[in-house]
Structure 1
Amino acid sequence: MSVNILSEPTNETLSSKQAIWQQIDDFALDALYDELNLENKPGLVCPSSNGSHSDMNHDTFIASITSLRGYFATLSEFGYENRAFVDLKNKGIYQEIKMRQATNNVNTHKGAIFNLGFASAAIGKCLQQNQSLTTQNICAQIVNSWQYDLTHHLERKADSHGQQMYKKYGVTGAIEMVSNGFQIIQNTALPCFYDTFYRTQDFEKAAMQTLMILISALSDTNLVWRGGIKDLMNAQMMAKQFLQAGGVYQSNWRQAVSTVNQYFIHCNLSPGGSADLLAVTIFFYKVENEFNNPV
């Protein structure tokens, strides 16, 4: 599929644009469904378990994802139109209100609204400049277009989990991750996903291997909030041990993941930041493979 969008304001061009916005929206929602439906994720909600959560379940997440439909298309269009940073921010705030209405005020996808929102807007920027939709180009657009605004013009609520963890432990969160162009995804998570999927031809294995790499490497503020620095280090160590033992290439890899999952649930740990980044990784994978491979 070609990503070259002509600038002439014809009906055909408008239809082409709208089709791409819709496709970006579908990819974002599909990535969130893929992350949600990955079974046995340590401490996280999946179809068969609430993980370490008492206030949300699989149905809560389905309602949340449903409420997001159309948002990522809008953000991609905003990026294409070079809309002001405040427009993107306000749309995200409005979308979070819609999400909380759908989930009875449970925060299921605030991270996705932020992470995938700016990724979608950056895709619009790439299309406007006729750049190929590679993860590198998309992330460069985020840095070049919004790094300053994200760093200086985004309200950081003092009572938020992220800000409390930054003040107490110096652990940075989603704002820094996005403003720096998802470095851990570019350098670690997406290469892992590609490599594992190429070697196994198994989406589940690729997703789980990538999640465990993210848990092993990310200073996940959700883990720190629930358990503190010691529990973060323990979680990272368990993920590293799983990977060092062979990861999903072990014959008993599901049992090995289950052991980690049981520990996380026992300690009330949930690597929500890693789950958010897994969804972004899957999104980038979908975008790259749809738009950069000849039909």
Structure 2
Amino acid sequence: MSVNDLLTPASEALFSKEAIWQQIDDFALDALYDELNLENKPGLVCPSGNGSHTDMNYDTFIDSITSLRGYFAALSAFGYDDRDFDDIKKAGIDQEIKMHHATNNINTHKGAIFNLGFASAAIGQCVQRGQSLTTQHICAQIIESWQYDLTHRLERKADSHGQQMYKKYGVTGAIEMVATGFQIIQNLALPCFYETLHRTQDFEKATMQTLMTLIATLSDTNLVWRGGMTDLKNAQMMAKQFLQAGGVHQSNWRQAVRMINRYFIHRNLSPGGSADLLAVTIFFYKVENEFNPSV
């Protein structure tokens, strides 16, 4: 059933726009839970450990995700109503404040508020325009509606990690990733997820293969902040070697991931940017399969 089918007059009583926004909210939160619950993510918080983090744990992330409920539904409605860029930006800032209250001022999901917020708003615009909810359409809507504002009007805080890494190394971050329509997800991460899931019929394997693909490819500003360009290159190399050896299709893939995790923890590395994009990838997968079952 496509989103257009959901909004026909005959089905309007059963499938209101508000019901769709609630589904989008649920998918976004579910994607964040799926990312969090993936065990042995290199350097990242998971149910069994805190990775390279001393200031946050699994419960911190649960509290943070809980604080996000309703935000993605609101952003979907904003997109449908063609609300101004400044309204979307203010909603994100307000949500960051809620998150910080829930986590005792720890930044757990700033990336998700930004990435999934604009993805949700783009979904609202796609619904308004009668477009099918494919990743390609959603990302094209982000570019059409907000690329200029993101690139030219969004304030870059000079003291932020991302801006410091850009000035020092020329590494771009989340703003550029969203403004260009999540190209790494469209071209690499989502195809990897679909291919691995089809081959293995295993959600955990598909998720880990996608994460390692992102780590191997992305110039993750979180890794650069913690370890500089040398540790970024080493992290990318380890992920590439894992994939070249077969990735999750190896019989001992969990052992291989644990070894990488130990290295990341030893070097105090955390690929937070890759984790953020993994959640967006899972979100797009959930949306596509709900509204476009033939995808």
Is structure 2 residue 41 aligned with structure 1 residue 65? no
Contact (CA 8 Å) 1:216, 1:236: kept in 2 or not?
Answer: yes
User: Residue 187 of structure 1 aligns with which residue?
Assistant: 187
Per-residue deviation, 1:6: 5.0
User: Residue 120 of structure 2 aligns with which residue?
Assistant: 120
For 1:208 and 1:41, locate their aligned partners in 2 and report how far apart those are by CA, in whole Å.
8
Residue type of the partner of 2:176?
E
What SS does the corresponding residue of 1:132 show, helix, strand or coil?
A: coil
Per-residue deviation, 1:162: 0.1
Residues 24-39 of structure 1: pairs in structure 2 closer than 5 A? 24-39=24-39
Per-residue deviation, 1:2: 3.7
For 1:234 and 1:11, locate their aligned partners in 2 and report how far apart those are by CA, in whole Å.
53
For 1:150 and 1:245, locate their aligned partners in 2 and report how far apart those are by CA, in whole Å.
39
Contact (CA 8 Å) 2:2, 2:132: kept in 1 or not?
Answer: no
User: Residue 275 of structure 2 aligns with which residue?
Assistant: 275
Deviation >4 Å, runs of 4+: 5-8, 10-15
Residue ranges of structure 1 left out of the alignment (5+ in a row)? none
What SS does the corresponding residue of 2:3 show, helix, strand or coil?
A: coil
Residues 192-203 of structure 1: pairs in structure 2 closer than 5 A? 192-203=192-203
User: Residue 77 of structure 1 aligns with which residue?
Assistant: 77
What SS does the corresponding residue of 1:251 show, helix, strand or coil?
A: coil
For 1:77 and 1:150, locate their aligned partners in 2 and report how far apart those are by CA, in whole Å.
20
Is structure 2 residue 135 aligned with structure 1 residue 135? yes
Q: For residues 58-116 of structure 1, what are the alpha-carbon distances to aligned partners after superposition, in whole Å with 9 as ceiling and x for unaligned?
A: 00000000000000000000000000000000000000000000000000000000000
User: Residue 99 of structure 2 aligns with which residue?
Assistant: 99
User: Residue 168 of structure 1 aligns with which residue?
Assistant: 168
User: Residue 266 of structure 2 aligns with which residue?
Assistant: 266
Per-residue deviation, 1:266: 0.2
User: Residue 48 of structure 2 aligns with which residue?
Assistant: 48
Query: What is the root-mean-square deviation of aligned Cα atoms in Å?
Result: 1.5
Contact (CA 8 Å) 1:52, 1:264: kept in 2 or not?
Answer: yes
Q: 1:114 to 1:167 in 2, by over 3 A?
A: same
For 1:51 and 1:230, locate their aligned partners in 2 and report how far apart those are by CA, in whole Å.
20
Give identity over the alignment, percent. 82
For 1:176 and 1:229, locate their aligned partners in 2 and report how far apart those are by CA, in whole Å.
19
User: Residue 207 of structure 1 aligns with which residue?
Assistant: 207
User: Residue 21 of structure 1 aligns with which residue?
Assistant: 21
Contact (CA 8 Å) 1:6, 1:13: kept in 2 or not?
Answer: no
Residue type of the partner of 1:224?
V
Residue type of the partner of 1:150?
L
Q: TM-score, normalised by structure 2?
A: 0.97
User: Residue 147 of structure 2 aligns with which residue?
Assistant: 147
For 1:14 and 1:197, locate their aligned partners in 2 and report how far apart those are by CA, in whole Å.
32
For 1:6 and 1:71, locate their aligned partners in 2 and report how far apart those are by CA, in whole Å.
22
Residue type of the partner of 2:226?
R
Residue type of the partner of 1:270?
S
For 2:51 and 2:187, locate their aligned partners in 1 and report how far apart those are by CA, in whole Å.
28
Per-residue deviation, 1:7: 9.1
For 2:7 and 2:61, locate their aligned partners in 1 and report how far apart those are by CA, in whole Å.
38
Residue type of the partner of 2:118?
F
